[in-house]
Amino acid sequence: MEITDRYSATGRPAPDPKTMCKGDCEGMGFYPTRNKKEWPKGAKPDEIGYVFVRCKPCNGTGRRDKKGMVPDIGGDVKKLRKAIGGK
């Protein structure tokens, strides 16, 4: 078996960079942490000390909300400048 990234390892398609969460989950919805302050009450770590926690920015969906999405500009520099508030 060959695993190339976290998405294929879990059987998920790679997320769309335009809509994926930019939080610690990187589009997965959950992420591993050793920081006990982030753990849910009663969580028990795995054998190497990690607990998977829900990503707060996306609430476990792996996606950004509408206002956080990157506009599709199709390579148009004028649209990009307008989208980011430039001239």
One digit per residue, the tens of pLDDT, for the chain of length 87 reads 666 777 877 788 888 888 899 999 999 999 999 999 999 999 999 999 999 999 998 889 899 877 765 555 555 666 656 655 655
Distances (CA, A) of 73 to 2, 13, 36, 84, 85: 35, 23, 41, 11, 14
The closest of 83, 84, 70 to 18, measured between CA atoms, is 70
> What is the predicted pLDDT for the residue at 35?
95
Q: For the chain, give every domain's residue range.
A: 17-87
> What is the predicted pLDDT for the residue at 50?
95
> What is the predicted pLDDT for the residue at 64?
86
> What is the predicted pLDDT for the residue at 6?
78
